[in-house]
Amino acid sequence: MQVYICEMDMDLTMCSKRNIHNRTEEDIGNIIKNWEETPRHYLRVDVRSLLQSVAITEVSIVMSCVLNILP
């Protein structure tokens, strides 16, 4: 069995906006500051292209909705 690790970008501003656990910005900053990097020998999956595809789909759906509403 193989395990793959997906690492996410840790930007304080973005994490604060996506915060659904009511953590303070200071708490999030401390988590980011104390985060340990994944050891180099672990298999990593780069999901940036997948996340970009999802973002593009979301924008397309929103644009379709907006275009259908406009006269």
pLDDT one-digit tens code per residue, 11-53: 999 889 889 999 999 999 999 999 988 888 888 888 777 766 5
Q: Is residue 26 part of a domain?
A: yes
Longest dimension (CA), the chain: 56
- The answer to the question of residue 31 being in a domain is yes
| pLDDT for the residue 37 | 86
What is the tally of structural domains in the chain?
A: 1
Provide the pLDDT for residue 40.
Answer: 86
Please tell me the distance from the alpha carbon of residue 5 to that of residue 51, in angstroms, as a whole number.
Answer: 15
pLDDT band at 65 (very low <50, low <70, confident <90, very high): low
In a domain, 1, yes or no: no
Task: Please check whether residue 3 lies inside any domain of the structure.
Answer: no
CA dist 49 and 20 (Å) reads 24
Amino acid at 70: L
Q: Is residue 29 part of a domain?
A: yes
Residue 53 belongs to a domain: yes
Q: Which domain holds residue 52?
A: 9-37+47-69
Say if 63 falls within a structural domain. yes
3-class SS of residue 33: helix
